[in-house]
A and B are shown apart, each in its own frame.
Chain A
Amino acid sequence: MSQYHLGEFEEVVLLTVGILYGEAYGIAIIDEMEKRLHRRVSIGALQTVLRRLENKGLLDSILGDATSIRGGKRKRYFSLTQNGQRVLNDAKDQRLALWKAIPKIAFK
């Protein structure tokens, strides 16, 4: 089991990067998160987490194409590393284990 404990927002960012596979850059990640989770995400909050996850080795990034709407600036595409996948799997297993441990009577 990995030692890095994901925060809730970090986990959502990693999952969204996985969903967008190959197309995960700043604005696309924000749009996907806002569409699926119905919550506002600021560029500042997202970029801080993306950098932190990249420094931790959970994400990789490469610079892609530039467009005129971006003022000629290139996009930075993020992808999950093996470590990132492992951490996500661990988080999923932990949550599933907790869900399974809830007795049925608790939801009546």
Chain B
Amino acid sequence: MNQPENDKPPYKVLAFFRWFCHPDYREDIEGDLLEQFHGRVIRKGLRKAKFLFIKDVLLLFRPGIIRGMQSRAQQKIMNMKKVHWIKLVALNLLIVLMILSPFIPGPSNKAVKLFSVAGQLMGLMGLFLVPIGLAWTIIEIRRFEKAVDNEANHKFHYQLANTAILLIAVIFIMAVVFVPNPMPKSTFLFGLILQVAAFILARKRIKKRENTDQRVPDQGALVILASSATACIVLIYFFYLLFVFFTAGIIPAMLGIVLLPAGLFWAIRQIGKLKLPYERKFNSVPLYLVTIPLIAFLTFKFMMEPISNFSRDFAIKKSEALIASIEDHKSRTGEYPKSLQDLYAYSLKKIPKPFIMGIGDFRYNKINEYYSLSFSQWLHVGSLEEIVLYDKNNLKNSLTGEFAKYDYSFDLWRVKGAFASHDTKYDNWRYYHCD
């Protein structure tokens, strides 16, 4: 049968299939795809046939078909049961929830700050575990069916350990170049020197195979590389612990002292058990080392600002009834209440609260003939507090002396004293960060 000129499947999709498909299967599967495509062109038309062709290729992109991910990898990953995947996802979701808990609507609870600190520290400091987790994951996938302690496996472990060391070294080099402060810069530089020294020593532990000229690494090389990586991580960890201690406070630092060494010690023990004989089950532990720090870090980096904006706006909305009640008091009595308790007598049965878990009660402050309403929320490790302030006169009443002539509206940065305040979506509400 003569085919029309344009009666062909999407070329780029076909090229993608030819790229990922295992070479042993490529010919017959491609033939099946083409045969099905031409049959569909006749039955359903060219456009539909192309759409279904793309769908079929995408559905072929799976373990068992993709080249390089055969038998051992497929078996290992399929040996991971649903419950393992569910646990992995659930734990990652729990970490995200911990980090975001101070910004979620709910009754005020001081404990959420601790949860958020713990989650954020996992992201900031746990990133060093990601290269180890990646290397370990690859080892788990490619574990051979023979006893672990054979030459090829040994060489592979050595290469993976080198790769992990190089990844850490790249991070250290970037830190040395871009970190401005001399103290952390020198810490990273020291760590980098340690790694380079370990790498050179490990190269010296390459021994000659018996009766051949081939050279292979021995156990000592792996030990040296692993020890240096551990020493670097411990060094950097203690430096950041000091940083956290002086910025976020003693509680986050104590959490770091307790949680991270325990996690590091346990992870290294697990890696040490790799010398045991071949294990059929896929060990999902390294996946936790990779995913938890990455998810925690990404949450910290990209979700903190939007969620803190949400919690701030939510609390401000909650204050509307309170502000209306305060103004009502003024219109009835001619002055603002001395405290929020005065509102009980006339209008409010209960003082409204921000109803955000990380935010305490509203604070009311009568200033001469005016008043301000405020609340504070904690943001993240490395900052103290965000103060959100309502003032109908935008701070003019609290300005005295030379600042009395200060016109707030002309100052784009809203600078008052040492702090810069920011506008919110609501009139007369602003916020500033205490550092």
Contact = CB atoms under 8 A, between A and B. Distances in A.
Interface in A63-91: 63, 66-67, 69-71, 73-76
A25 B59 CA distance: 19
A3 interface: no
A70 B35 CA distance: 5
Contact of A47 (B27, B55, B65, B71): B65
B184 interface: no
Interface in A42-60: 42-45, 47-48, 51-52, 55
Interface string B1-18: 100000000000000000
Given A51-B65, A63-B27, A73-B27, A44 B32 contact: no
Given A71-B30, A74-B28, A44 B56 contact: yes
B35 A27 contact: yes
Interface residues of A, number: 23
Given A47-B29, A47-B65, A55-B71, A73 B34 contact: yes
Interface string B202-228: 000000000000000000000000000
A43 B59 contact: yes
Interface residues of B, number: 23
A26 interface: yes
B31 A66 contact: yes
B34 A43 contact: no
A6 to B, nearest CB: 15
Nearest to B55: A42
Contact of B65 (A44, A55, A73, A76): A44
B274 interface: no
B2 to A, nearest CB: 10
A27 B431 CA distance: 66
Interface of A: 25-27, 30, 42-45, 47-48, 51-52, 55, 63, 66-67, 69-71, 73-76
Interface of B: 1, 25, 27-36, 38-39, 55-56, 59-62, 64-65, 71
